[in-house]
Structures are given as C-alpha cells and as structure tokens.
Structure 1
Amino acid sequence: MTSAVPLLLPPTAADLTTRPLTREDAAAVTALMAACELHDVGEVLIEEADIVGDWQRPAFDLATQSVGVLDGDRLVAYAEVFKGRWADGAVTPDHRGRGLGTALSHWTRAVGARDGGTLVGQPVPGDSPGERLFSALGYRTLWTSWVLEMPAGTTITPQPLPAGYSVREPRDEADLRAAWTVNEDAFLEWSERERSSFEEWTATVSRRPGYEPWQLRLMVDAAGEVVGMAFVVVSSGCGYVDKLAVRRDERGGGLARALLVDAFEVARAHGGERSELSTDSRTGALGLYEKVGMQVTSVWRHWAADVAPQPGVAPA
C-alpha cells in the first residue's frame, strides 16, 4: 500500500494542522478555490461538481494524493497530485505570506517522485502570487491558457452543417464511448499525457454531479457515426464549454464551429446567458474562438518543475 507523504509546515505556520482530504471536504475546497479565483482573476470559475468529478476518477486516491491545511476547522490551503504529474493547490488570500505555498510545492514534488513522475505542475493565473512563487522556486512555464467569454446578448452567427450531418444527445453507452474516443484522440495529438480511460473520462462527464444528456453534444455524419463532440456545463448563468473535439479527418468543414454554436445555444436554453471556454497555446484554437466573437477574460500559465524529494518533506 502506498504511504502518505507528510506535509511539514514552516515555523510561521506552527499553529495550523494538516491531514489528507476526504470526500466530505469537497465543499471546503470549492470555497477555498473560489476565494482564490475571485482575488486573483476577479471571477469565480470553480464549482463543487468540478471537484467531485475529479475526485471520483478511479486512479485518484485522496488518502495518499491530497493534503489539507487547517486553521482550527477552516481549510486554508490544500494540494493534490494526480498520476504523479498533475497538481492542484491553493492558499487562501488571508493566509498567504506564511510559507504555505512553498511547503505545498515541496509536498507535490515529493508525491510526484513517490508516484513515479518526472515532472509536476499546475496552471495559475498570470501575474499572480502563485506565478511569482513558482518562478522563485525554479519552476518553468510550459504553456499559456486563456479563458474566453461570449458576453450575454451577443448574437451567435449560425454555422450551416454539411449535408447529412447533425448534432444530437447521446443515447447509450456506445455513444459515450464514441465521444470519449473522439475527445481523447483529438487531445492526445498535442497533450503530453497518457490516454484517459473511459472510466476516468466519464467521472468528469456523464458521472459528474448534475449531468443531463443534453450537456453532451454529438456531431454525427450521414452514416450515424460520431465524428465530433462538445460537453457544456451551465452554472450561475454561464454556459462553460468544457470539451470540444472533431475527428482529424473531418476537420476543415466547419464542424468545430457548428458544435461551438450549438453548445452556446443549448447553454442559453438552459440558463447560460453568457458562455465561456478555455484553450491553450498547444491547440492553436485561439483564433477560432476569437472569430466567433469571444473575448479573453483571463490568462493562465502552466508552471512545472522536475520532481525529487524536497527539503522540509519527511520521507514516506
């Protein structure tokens, strides 16, 4: 059995306590991340279903791959590492400057080393305290991401579909598997990660809390084969296009744009008056989204560091 890596707090945080997170901490982590996002980028992007979906992935173990820092009963910082590579962590604004970010960085790299990783990193807002911390700790930038918005009331120009093509909801598991295949094939053309299993993918899509079939949009050809997909989430009046992919041999005919327009429209029909999505510099898709009228609202960068046991982290 894998042993948890203890987090050793600096003397400036000796009054705080640490422990692994549990499923019951999802709301507290959401509140922590929301406070950080509001402070650093001026809007809240996270919702609890995002956390729950990530935590129910089969390969993720909260007991050994997460840690929380508490001030009494209040969660004030946390970190997690998925598959020895993909970290998430945050320190609430009123507890920054106490060395917690540095301690969490050492912990994530130690967990990455324990789990066989060679690199660990996470996205943080551009020109934020997190970015300045990572730079000081010797991390390097691997890519840039942008959050874009289609403002409420913006007219969405329709995108005609080629003859025989249509967009519909999934009907069964075969449709889900087809969407997963299209999504993974497309993203693995540029993403430096291993292929997500079907179970990992559904954890954040069809098994995500609150999921309804209308959220998953399937582009099908005249033969009924799934050649594209989009996944949209509506929260607090915003429709967020979480995933968008078209099979390589079907690109260039406007299918991606048609899926995007459809996702915006179905989101509006379910209360998403404005629409958002994110893309990064590895995809080359920024221009597509700007051409349909989307505007960049925040910039994020993925910072990463080589992993190795770090000073101040007790061995497992």
Structure 2
Amino acid sequence: MWLPDGYRCRSVSLADVAAIHRLVASCERELHGRPTTGADRLAAELSLPGLRPESDTLLVRDGTGGPVGYCWVQGRRARVHVHPGHQGRGLGSGLLGWAEDRTRQAGGDRLAQTVSDTDRAATALLRAAGYSRLVTEWLLEVALPHGPHVPDPPAGITVRPFRPGDEQAAHQLTEDAFDEWQPRRKTYAQWARRTVERPTFVPAASPVAFAGEQMVGAVLSLEIPAHGEEGADGYAEADADGCAAEGIEGDAEGYVARVAVRRDHRGRGIARTLLLQAFDTFHRRGRPACTLWTHSGTGAFAMYERLGMTVRRSSTLYGKALV
C-alpha cells in the first residue's frame, strides 16, 4: 500500500462533505489567502451521474481521524487535495498514482487535472509524473458598482430570462458549442447537476436568446459566496460569442457557468448582449461582482476584456496519456 505509516484511507460518502470542505478550505487558504470553494460544489461533484463514490473517491485520514487527503476521478478527470500540514510525505504522489490506476481499471487511456498556478508543489508533482500543459484557464471578474448599459438584441433576436421548459434546449445548445473543445459531451443529467439543478442557479440572471422559436444563445448563472470561486470544470465552462462557453443570504456575487451561441449566429454580438444582461441583473440584485472562467483555447479573452473583466487568478489544465 502506498500510504505512509500513520495514515489510513477509505472511500467517500455525502456525509463527508463538511469534512472535505474543511480540508479543501485549508488548501485554498494556503494558496489564495481564503477559501474559494463552497460545500455546495463539493456535494455536486460527489453527486455527478456516473461517479461511483465507493470506487472513484478516496479520503485519507491521519492518526486522529482528521481528513488530510482527498481525491476523486471520473472519466478522464481527477481532483487531488492534500492538507498543507501533511504535504511532502508522499500523499499527493500516492493519490495521483491511485487516480491513474483507477482510470486504467475503468478503461481510460488519459487523465487530466487542473491546478492553480500558485500551487507550485502540485505543478512540480504533475510535471515530474509526465503531465504536460494543455490549456491555461483564467478566472475573470467584473465589478458591478453600477449597472452596465445593455444594448438591444441584434435584429431578429429576442432575449428573455431562463424559465422552466428551457432545460433541454439549453443543454443541446451549450453541449453543441462545447463540442469544439471539450473531451466528451455531458449527458443531460451530468449537465443539469452542474447548472440548472444547482440550488444556487439564478434563472433571472440567465438570459436566453431566440431566433423565432429556436434557442440560439444562452448564459447560465449561479450565485456563490462573495470571494468564493467555482473551479474550472475541465476546459473552462464559460466562453464567448463564437465560443462555447439555495439562494444565498448576505454577501454573494454572480458567477456565469455557461455562455454559448449557436454557430450560425455567432459574430452578431449575442453573447455580449446576454452577458451584459446577466451583469445588470446581478447589479440589481445587489451583487458587487460577477465572475466566469475561460481558457486559452477559446480566443474569447479579448471580448471579456472589452466588457471590463480582469483576471482574478489563473490555473492550468495538465494531461497525460496512460500507457
């Protein structure tokens, strides 16, 4: 067994979310000065369709029973966390090796992991294990002290907030757009668990665009705790025009989880209109800022800059062929 003396491990259940959240928060304080991932997101990850916690997750505990390491793997993706006070003892390399073995057992031939660019230890570990850089991902933000000017939609396009019944069309639209760079399509259940079924989903800040009866553009938004950050999900979940992309009391900010415009309607300013509509809604809801992730493969960075967005932090997606 790869575990150092004094540690033990087991699979994870939803009952472990609070403990895992404490572990992840400790890692993020070390890297960013504050926790950035909510328990809501960790619970969503463990509930993803196709993820089998009994075989696809691992929780490492020290002699006191406290959680000090955590890993999950699904398809070609993995996530690994090691408590700052327990790094340098082989836990990270052990969890990474376990994730690779689990991927091979499930028939996978590649594995990828996103790490913050401030996490030099994880970056060094991945490079030493044969992982190479795939894309750079940026968490962008825009301050919302004032509501932005929202332009009229392009000719022939109507825009309205997301409403019940839009789910299947939005899934089809966003997955078609993301097909250009994502490794695989998400089923409706996988997609919905990360978007419209999240308790933090905000229909009012999720405008959709129509040409006649056909949905041709969509922005899907969440509300997250202020200074919290949704992690980039594979290739970044939010992208631009021409690219795919429980209510919270008190302080919160907006987060755009998906932006997509149908290929034959790109270049018309639809994404810009939808994003500004979402920003304006978050401003009117009293949210001080809105964030989204994008990555270097989309070519969307310049458009977001024109909307006044700046980089809050960056991360890199590393991948490796498993032989």
TM-score of the superposed pair, with normalisation by structure 1: 0.87
Q: Is 1:220 matched up with 2:235?
A: no
User: Matched residue of 1:50: which SS?
Assistant: helix
Q: Deviations over 1:46-71 (max 9, x none)?
A: 11221222222221111110001112
Which of 206, 216, 219 aligns to 1:230? It is: 219
Q: Is 1:172 matched up with 2:187?
A: no
Partner of 2:193 in structure 1? 203
Partner of 1:124 in structure 2? 115
Query: Structure 1 residues 277 and 211, CA, compared in 2 at 3 Å: closer, same or farther?
Result: closer
Partner of 1:138 in structure 2? 130
Partner of 1:299 in structure 2? 314
Q: Is 1:9 matched up with 2:3?
A: yes
Partners in 2 of 1:28 and 1:20 — Cα distance? Answer: 13
User: Matched residue of 1:243: which SS?
Assistant: strand
Which of 181, 185, 195 aligns to 2:176? It is: 185
Aligned amino acid, residue 251 of structure 1: R
Partners in 1 of 2:33 and 2:146 — Cα distance? Answer: 22
Once superposed, what is the RMSD of the aligned Cα atoms?
A: 1.8
C-alpha deviation, 1:181, in angstroms: 0.7
C-alpha deviation, 1:26, in angstroms: 1.9
Partners in 1 of 2:213 and 2:29 — Cα distance? Answer: 44
Aligned amino acid, residue 16 of structure 1: Y
Partner of 1:279 in structure 2? 294
Which of 110, 120, 124 aligns to 2:101? It is: 110
C-alpha deviation, 1:43, in angstroms: 4.4
Query: Structure 1 residues 15 and 266, CA, compared in 2 at 3 Å: closer, same or farther?
Result: same
Given that residues 217 and 229 in structure 1 are in contact (C-alpha distance below 8 angstroms), is that contact kept between their aligned partners in structure 2?
Answer: yes
Q: Is 1:290 matched up with 2:276?
A: no
Partner of 1:156 in structure 2? 148
Given that residues 139 and 292 in structure 2 are in contact (C-alpha distance below 8 angstroms), is that contact kept between their aligned partners in structure 1?
Answer: yes
Partners in 2 of 1:99 and 1:185 — Cα distance? Answer: 41
Given that residues 136 and 296 in structure 2 are in contact (C-alpha distance below 8 angstroms), is that contact kept between their aligned partners in structure 1?
Answer: yes
Unpaired runs of 5+ residues, structure 1, are 1-6, 309-316
C-alpha deviation, 1:154, in angstroms: 6.0
Q: Deviations over 1:151-186 (max 9, x none)?
A: 24266343331134233233333x101000110011
Which of 23, 29, 35 aligns to 1:38? It is: 29
Partner of 1:18 in structure 2? 9
Query: Structure 1 residues 167 and 295, CA, compared in 2 at 3 Å: closer, same or farther?
Result: same
Q: Deviations over 1:15-56 (max 9, x none)?
A: 122010101122222332232223213443311221222222
Q: Which has the higher contact order (CA 8 A, sep 6+)?
A: 1
Aligned amino acid, residue 178 of structure 1: A
Partner of 1:311 in structure 2? none
Aligned length, in residue pairs = 295
User: Matched residue of 2:278: which SS?
Assistant: helix
C-alpha deviation, 1:267, in angstroms: 2.2
Partner of 1:4 in structure 2? none
Higher deviation after alignment, 145-154 or 227-236: 145-154
Query: Structure 1 residues 216 and 120, CA, compared in 2 at 3 Å: closer, same or farther?
Result: same
Unpaired runs of 5+ residues, structure 2, are 226-251
Given that residues 110 and 307 in structure 1 are in contact (C-alpha distance below 8 angstroms), is that contact kept between their aligned partners in structure 2?
Answer: no
Q: Deviations over 1:234-258 (max 9, x none)?
A: 1222211111111111111111111
Given that residues 222 and 257 in structure 2 are in contact (C-alpha distance below 8 angstroms), is that contact kept between their aligned partners in structure 1?
Answer: yes
TM-score of the superposed pair, with normalisation by structure 2: 0.85
